[in-house]
A and B are shown apart, each in its own frame.
Chain A
Amino acid sequence: MEMGWRWDFTIEILPQMAIATLNTILAAGVGYAIALIVGLIFLLGQRTPSKIINWINREIVEFIRSTPLLIQLFFVYFVLPQFGITLSAWVCGMITIGLHFGTYLSEVYRGALEGVSKTQWEACRALNFSTLYTYRRIVLPQAFPIAIPGMGNYLVGIFKDTPLLSTIGVAELFHAATAVGGYNYRYLEPYTLVGVIFLTLSIPAAMWVRKLENDVNKAQGKIKK
């Protein structure tokens, strides 16, 4: 077996890896969309007046947050068929990522809502605005900018956790690299390429999130320039 880097092999596998990258981006996007909605549901559970629902919600969030995504993936993928629900690997993966990161996003939402000053609520009460109107026109427009950096961070986080999907057979980038590596018995180029692709995608994304964070801070007058 030839040692060292082989450029011809790299170029040979490049198209395959590029297609798989699209799958990875798709997986991250869909997973993120689900996580955004799941986060809202957990937020709702947290803010309902019922103490019991609050408690159940908190325990569920705590459980999901302190157990590994990998085993959650296995659990959903292997256990659901035993109850007669057979889903494809893609669907299982998306549900699990959505649930897992939804718990994190609910915390982001909560922090953002609490970041809106109490006096805003009081002013709305004084002006006799309905709760819905207060949320829609006063609180949410102020909370959203606070939530942006956290939401961006978890988008990057989901993107970096998509390789886990390969363990249940979702054909994303890492899966493709393992398949190519196993077929040719050369792992150096495929795995290095995966690393390079991840770097080229996630560093600009992280920089963009940091810029957003700065912009938000500036707009709120936290940084004076």
Chain B
Amino acid sequence: MTYFEFLNEHGITLLLGTVTTVKVLVCSMILYVIISMIFGLMRLSKNVLIQGLATAYIEFFRGTSLLVQLFWAYYVLPFFGISLEAFTAGVVALGLNFGAYGAEIVRAGILAVPKGQWEAAHALNFSAAKRIKRIIIPQIFPIILPPAANLTVELLKATALVALVTVVDLTFEAKQINSITWLSAQCFGTALLIYYVIARFALVPFLRWLEVLAARKVGKERI
């Protein structure tokens, strides 16, 4: 069977899997961005309880393996009466795991905002909430976007793991086709190529565009 015949027969299945992969990616991306913002701010709180909570969360999710968390969410949570659908379990586990890494990026970004900005906001008598919302947060984006872009490419790669909790994504389809046809080079090679194309020609340019946009917003034309 030539490669063209292989694509003709299984291309549609792989494409459908790719759609699921992109869905998982987008959902978990939104979730992880929200979580990292919240926990990054909590990590800097002066309240010991809030800060301790955020630290415990971050250490826990960074200390254990993503695969373990995924399996825990899918196979163990039903023991406690919480049955998540495979897709939901996958997105939640990915979001929580990457949120922990993202929170550290957000924290570092906030700390990297020059001290003068805090002092100026103080001097202008801004309330604490307004200071964070209007002065500090808008300035962290050019700082956090480059490391966040790396993390997001890692997230795309990590979405492959949801196949192991029966989400029918690209990896799942590739495995499935492999077990039917035993054309391993073709299925896994194609899957690798699709992931590569998504990362190289869609995700990375999009994140680069965001970086340029964020830099322009704070008045830096060149980054």
Residue pair A66, B178 in contact (C-beta under 8 Å): no
By a CB distance below 8 angstroms, the chain B residues around A178 are 71
Residue pair B65, A191 in contact (C-beta under 8 Å): no
Give the residue of B157, B161, B185, B192 whose beta carbon is less than 8 angstroms from that of A82.
B185
- The CA-CA distance from A3 to B69 in the complex, in Å, is 20
Judge if A74 is at the interface, Cβ distance under 8 Å. Answer: yes
Select from chain A the residue with minimum beta-carbon distance to B77.
Answer: A188
Q: Is the interface of A mostly helix, strand, loop or mixed?
A: helix
By a CB distance below 8 angstroms, the chain A residues around B199 are 66-67
Which residues of B176-192 are within 8 A (CB) of A?
Answer: 178, 184-185, 188-189, 191-192
Residue pair B196, A79 in contact (C-beta under 8 Å): no
Residue pair B161, A70 in contact (C-beta under 8 Å): yes
Residue pair A68, B160 in contact (C-beta under 8 Å): yes
CB contact under 8 A between A67 and B192, given known A75-B184, A202-B64, A206-B62: yes
B interface residues, tally (CB under 8 Å): 39
- The CA-CA distance from A161 to B70 in the complex, in Å, is 13
Judge if B195 is at the interface, Cβ distance under 8 Å. Answer: yes
Stretch at the interface among A112-120, A133-141, A192-200, A216-224: A192-200
A136 to chain B, nearest CB (A): 32
Give the residue of B59, B60, B195 whose beta carbon is less than 8 angstroms from that of A68.
B195
Digitize B167-182: 1 where CB-to-A-CB distance is under 8 Å, 0 elsewhere. 0000100110010000
> A68-B171, A187-B79, A195-B68 given. 16 additional CB < 8 A pairs?
A3-B79, A4-B79, A66-B153, A66-B195, A66-B200, A70-B161, A70-B164, A70-B171, A71-B192, A74-B188, A75-B188, A75-B192, A163-B65, A164-B67, A164-B161, A198-B63
- The CA-CA distance from A181 to B171 in the complex, in Å, is 24
By a CB distance below 8 angstroms, the chain B residues around A162 are 65
Which residues of A22-78 are within 8 A (CB) of B?
Answer: 62-63, 65-72, 74-75, 78
- The CA-CA distance from A68 to B113 in the complex, in Å, is 34
Residue pair A174, B184 in contact (C-beta under 8 Å): no
Ordered nearest first, which 7 A-B pairs have the shortest CB separation?
A: A78-B184, A68-B160, A66-B199, A75-B188, A163-B67, A68-B157, A187-B75
Residue pair A199, B60 in contact (C-beta under 8 Å): yes
Residue pair A191, B188 in contact (C-beta under 8 Å): no
A residues whose Cβ falls under 8 Å from a Cβ of B: 3-4, 62-63, 65-72, 74-75, 78-79, 82, 160-164, 167, 174, 178, 181, 187-188, 191-192, 194-195, 198-199, 202-203, 206
Judge if B34 is at the interface, Cβ distance under 8 Å. Answer: no
B residues whose Cβ falls under 8 Å from a Cβ of A: 59-60, 62-69, 71-72, 75-76, 79, 153, 156-161, 163-164, 171, 174-175, 178, 184-185, 188-189, 191-192, 195-196, 199-200, 204
- The CA-CA distance from A98 to B37 in the complex, in Å, is 34
A83 to chain B, nearest CB (A): 9
A144 to chain B, nearest CB (A): 24
Number of A-B residue pairs, CB cutoff 8 Å, is 110
CB contact under 8 A between A203 and B59, given known A174-B68, A187-B76, A198-B68: yes
By a CB distance below 8 angstroms, the chain B residues around A4 are 79
Residue pair B65, A161 in contact (C-beta under 8 Å): yes
- The CA-CA distance from A75 to B159 in the complex, in Å, is 17
- The CA-CA distance from A137 to B7 in the complex, in Å, is 55
CB contact under 8 A between A160 and B188, given known A68-B158, A187-B75: no
Q: Can you give 18 contacting A-B residue pairs, CB < 8 Å?
A: A66-B199, A67-B192, A69-B157, A70-B163, A70-B171, A74-B178, A75-B192, A78-B178, A79-B188, A160-B64, A160-B66, A164-B67, A174-B68, A187-B75, A188-B76, A202-B63, A202-B64, A203-B59
Give the residue of B65, B158, B188 whose beta carbon is less than 8 angstroms from that of A198.
B65
- The CA-CA distance from A69 to B153 in the complex, in Å, is 13
